[in-house]
Structure 1
Amino acid sequence: MESSRLRVAIVGGGIGGLTMALAISRCAPDIDVDIYESASSFGEIGAGIGMWPRVWETMQFLGLEEDLKRIIGTPHASGIQYRKSDQSEGIAFGSNMIHLQTIHRAEFLEILVDRIPSSYGTHFSKRLTSYVDGDVGPVTMFFKDGSSATCDLLIGADGIKSQVRETMYISMAEIAKKNRDPPENVDRFRDHTKCVWTGQLIYRYLIPSEDLERVYPGHPCLKAPAQFHGKNKFIIGYPISRGKFINVAAIIFKPEYAGSTFHGSWSTHVPHRELIDQFVDWEPQARCIINLMKRPSRWAVNCVPSLPAYHFRRVALLGDSAHAMTPHQGSGAGQAAEDALVMSSLLGRPEITRQTLHLALQVYDEIRRPVSQRVQQTSDEAGLLYSFNNVDYQYNPDNHVTSMDSLKRIHGRILDLFKWTWTTSAFEDRDRAMKILTDRLKSSRV
């Protein structure tokens, strides 16, 4: 029996890895896929995720629209509302009317799991320790349980602490050292194995909607996303699970620690008092949310600084393993989906074989790296605006007074930062990638 055109291994069975698997099934059905997950079953951490119009297009392409509508329920009544809330009486300073679909991560993952072809291999309790990608033969993966496996293409969708990324950049550093590159170049490759702390902490909680309705009837978060802002902190809340819960995140900024290493557990449950003490004297709309977060989990927000490459030889990075970012544009999961759309479309070309695979991976890197890293930057800038750390903000720390002109400038800049989510399309990037690949394939045959 004739072997498949390519054997692909996806390391990581979260939203990014499973979206990639589903995208391959749609764009390249003649490719064999194996998924390796370190846990004993598929699962997701965190609660809510957002999908902008740009990402929703990809969900439609993957055939997920109806399933997603079923778990979203009634669309939000309005866009995101913004309030300055670090005072006894808050100030509304605008809204973002672009429609944001809000979804529970676990429910989204269940949809993906149900859609994965039964012919795909799924392997649990497989924690990758390293891989070898030599000049000949397949890529060989090694797992903590002592087993190994091979593939033609290894896709690292194993998150911000990616072992695939670590092995890839250690390999690049060793080659640079062998080639007698300057020591600083070798060290730079090794530095890319790590992630860094942004200086930000997120307190997360799911509030039953009925609890919020009881203490604050008609609260804006019951119907649509709302954000409450103050110096060096803000709160966002929005309904998920057909309105059953309000997903809440309270974010604290410590700018002096940005770029450092966070010591201790990245996520842990903390006493309610730790959170309450940080929002004393805020307006009632904000404080009632904080008061309902009875046992919040605290997360250190880490990121992967801009990488010089998303692939090396026959290994590629996807999602957080390539571009873990701050959550301030609600685009982490969406960028993973766009990675999957572009890469699977390139792999779907019948001319891509074991011999021409490198051409597809080069184009994937050229198209997806600038786009995703630009989103990383705009997400960081949005965080500065949300926490009133932008240079235009005129602020009196003694009485929390600011001018409406300053707030209007912030609101205008927020709207500018989000234009890409609805005025651009990932399919434009995909089509550009396909054209470049066509040209490269023609050149390779000359």
Structure 2
Amino acid sequence: MSPSTVSNHIFQNHPSLPIAIIGGGLGGLALAIGLIKHGVKVHIYEAAAAFSEIGAGVAFGPNSTRALSLIDEKLLAGYKKHATFNENRERDDTFVTFRYGMDSRNGNGRKAGDLIWHLEDIWMPENAKKLGVRTRSCIHRARFLDQLVALLPEGITSFGKSFERINTLEDGTVKLCFSDGSTALASAAIGCDGVKSKARDFVCGASVQATYAGEYAYRAMVPRAEAEKALGKELACNGQLYCGYGAYIVTYPVEHGEFTNMVAIPHEKGDSWTWTQAEWTVPATRQEFLRHFEGWYPPLIDAIARYCQPQKWALFSLRHSEPYYKGRLCLLGDSAHATTPHLGAGAGMAMEDAYILSNLIASMNSTDEIEKAFHAFDAVRRPRTQQLIENSLVAGLATDFIMPGIEDDVDLLKGEFEAWYKWLWHEVLEYQLEKAKGML
């Protein structure tokens, strides 16, 4: 069977029970859309009172937009309505432009703001063009969520359902228990409840928890006019990554260029970091941000300081070797493999997950065989997603000029980043799916 072949196989749902999706974030909703497309009955249980997303922009590379099209062409069409691209058409194939965020210390005389190189898809840029997008596209999380919700039928979501535990009944079905005392039965369940997942405790054990990466982020949404005034049109309206000694800043346009999203990420010194606060988002001041970025490119720092949110976000990652499923409970997205944002690939990996898992489930005869689908999903997705976590952590060191053996040698850095992005962007998801189906 070729990777593009569409099977006429029809999945037989449990006669009365749906597959439960725990969590209504981007990954959970994308999975629901994929399953519904194949005629699989689902129900979403979301802890909040309504669908919502935290954060501003999310970046998608060619692998991510390809996954959207494979899940459902309507999803890609909705995404494109709100996607923002590099405004300079000469940068259609560019994911991000690397620049010095501070004066170089390696003797090459380069100054803060100077160009280092353009990170481009030098392998298959036509892949993005065929989908009507470009190598880099960005979207406001809330806009993307709206497009996902628009593709869901009414009546398949229960809100205010904070998952607490799961029990497997004698007939193999599962019973979900929620913090409000209510319960629900399902033929199987998929945990899409994020980096602080409770579903993960029942799959991997309570010891598998996300660990602090020694980094946190300051964020600012700068109006276009102010960004252009500070940086000029080229820097304000196209994706930029400013490298520095011990930190980096990434900027890119969102909302069709109405704003420039700016994220500044310092790296804590040493390697024995701990995050002692109970919350992962804590108050921060403008003065604290300015202390971290003293000596950086002044126009950039001034723009961020004026619009910086009074908070900082700790960065965590979920490195582990445990299977992503146990019995009839499987994990997807951040609940299984949360990563740092240094390659701009976390949300895209959830879209890949949704494509693979929805198709594997649909290829089964019924939910009685769903554990086979979960096993095949784990076999093909765990190596790739855990490798992303490792690559992203090292990429964070690279952008901070502290990667061992390379530091601020920008020629060597270019080779590292090109290797990471070639691996990331040009995985053929259809072949990955066929490999997984061959394990069933």
What are the equivalent positions in structure 2 for 1:279-294 lying under 5 Å apart? 279-294=293-308
Q: d(CA) in 1 for partners of 2:118 and 2:232?
A: 21
What are the equivalent positions in structure 2 for 1:21-100 lying under 5 Å apart? 21-26=32-37, 28-29=38-39, 31-61=40-70, 62-63=72-73, 64-73=75-84, 75-77=86-88, 78=91, 79=94, 80-87=96-103, 89-90=111-112, 91-98=114-121, 99-100=135-136
Match of 1:140 in 2: 175
Deviations 1:197-255 (A, max 9, x none): 111111112111122123333251x2211011111100000001101111111001115
What are the equivalent positions in structure 2 for 1:205-244 lying under 5 Å apart? 205-220=220-235, 222-244=236-258
Match of 2:261 in 1: 247
Match of 1:440 in 2: none
- Is residue 191 of structure 2 the alignment partner of residue 156 of structure 1? yes
Query: Which of 144, 148, 152 is the aligned partner of 1:116?
Result: 152
Please say if residues 310 and 369 of structure 1, whose CA atoms lie closer than 8 Å, have aligned partners that are also in contact: yes
Match of 1:266 in 2: 280
The change in CA–CA distance for 1:380 and 1:144 in structure 2 (over 3 A counts) is same
**Tell me, what secondary structure is at the counterpart of 2:21?**
strand
Q: d(CA) in 2 for partners of 1:68 and 1:59?
A: 8
Deviation at 1:73, TM superposition (A): 4.8
Q: d(CA) in 1 for partners of 2:322 and 2:54?
A: 28
**Tell me, what secondary structure is at the counterpart of 1:372?**
helix
Residue 309 of structure 1 aligns with an amino acid whose one-letter code is P
Deviations 1:388-416 (A, max 9, x none): 1112335xxxxxxx6xxx11111221111
Please say if residues 55 and 426 of structure 1, whose CA atoms lie closer than 8 Å, have aligned partners that are also in contact: no
**Tell me, what secondary structure is at the counterpart of 1:251?**
strand
Query: Which of 301, 305, 323 is the aligned partner of 2:319?
Result: 305
**Tell me, what secondary structure is at the counterpart of 1:204?**
strand
Q: d(CA) in 1 for partners of 2:275 and 2:291?
A: 25
Please say if residues 45 and 158 of structure 2, whose CA atoms lie closer than 8 Å, have aligned partners that are also in contact: yes
Please say if residues 84 and 253 of structure 2, whose CA atoms lie closer than 8 Å, have aligned partners that are also in contact: no
Unpaired stretches in structure 1, ≥5 consecutive residues: 171-189, 395-401, 438-446
Q: d(CA) in 2 for partners of 1:382 and 1:413?
A: 8
Deviation at 1:166, TM superposition (A): 1.4
The more displaced of 39-48 and 161-170 is 161-170
Match of 1:416 in 2: 419
Please say if residues 56 and 140 of structure 2, whose CA atoms lie closer than 8 Å, have aligned partners that are also in contact: yes
Q: d(CA) in 2 for partners of 1:100 and 1:348?
A: 31
Match of 2:395 in 1: 382
The more displaced of 139-148 and 423-432 is 423-432
**Overall identity of the aligned pairs, in %:** 29
**Tell me, what secondary structure is at the counterpart of 1:42?**
coil
Q: TM-score, normalised by structure 1?
A: 0.85
Residue 11 of structure 1 aligns with an amino acid whose one-letter code is I
Q: d(CA) in 1 for partners of 2:165 and 2:240?
A: 43
**Tell me, what secondary structure is at the counterpart of 1:413?**
helix
Residue 210 of structure 1 aligns with an amino acid whose one-letter code is A
Deviation at 1:292, TM superposition (A): 3.1
Deviation at 1:272, TM superposition (A): 1.1
Residue 118 of structure 2 aligns with an amino acid whose one-letter code is S
Q: d(CA) in 2 for partners of 1:71 and 1:246?
A: 15
Unpaired stretches in structure 2, ≥5 consecutive residues: 1-12, 105-110, 122-134
Please say if residues 93 and 411 of structure 1, whose CA atoms lie closer than 8 Å, have aligned partners that are also in contact: no
Please say if residues 225 and 237 of structure 1, whose CA atoms lie closer than 8 Å, have aligned partners that are also in contact: yes
The change in CA–CA distance for 1:111 and 1:216 in structure 2 (over 3 A counts) is same
**Tell me, what secondary structure is at the counterpart of 1:356?**
helix
Please say if residues 23 and 341 of structure 1, whose CA atoms lie closer than 8 Å, have aligned partners that are also in contact: yes
Deviation at 1:67, TM superposition (A): 1.8
Please say if residues 276 and 290 of structure 1, whose CA atoms lie closer than 8 Å, have aligned partners that are also in contact: no
Deviations 1:278-315 (A, max 9, x none): 11121234323333334343101012122411000000
Q: d(CA) in 2 for partners of 1:263 and 1:224?
A: 35
Residue 427 of structure 1 aligns with an amino acid whose one-letter code is E
Deviation at 1:256, TM superposition (A): 3.0
The change in CA–CA distance for 1:382 and 1:59 in structure 2 (over 3 A counts) is same
**Tell me, what secondary structure is at the counterpart of 1:292?**
helix
Q: d(CA) in 2 for partners of 1:215 and 1:223?
A: 12
Q: d(CA) in 1 for partners of 2:20 and 2:153?
A: 14
**Tell me, what secondary structure is at the counterpart of 2:438?**
helix
Residue 390 of structure 1 aligns with an amino acid whose one-letter code is M
Q: TM-score, normalised by structure 2?
A: 0.86
Provide the alpha-carbon RMSD of the alignment.
Answer: 2.0
Q: d(CA) in 1 for partners of 2:166 and 2:334?
A: 19
Deviation at 1:4, TM superposition (A): 3.9
**Tell me, what secondary structure is at the counterpart of 1:301?**
strand
Deviations 1:111-150 (A, max 9, x none): 00000123x5210010011111245342111111110001
Please say if residues 101 and 297 of structure 2, whose CA atoms lie closer than 8 Å, have aligned partners that are also in contact: yes
Q: d(CA) in 1 for partners of 2:149 and 2:338?
A: 23
Q: d(CA) in 1 for partners of 2:304 and 2:281?
A: 18
Q: d(CA) in 2 for partners of 1:275 and 1:281?
A: 12
Q: d(CA) in 2 for partners of 1:42 and 1:117?
A: 14
Please say if residues 4 and 32 of structure 1, whose CA atoms lie closer than 8 Å, have aligned partners that are also in contact: no
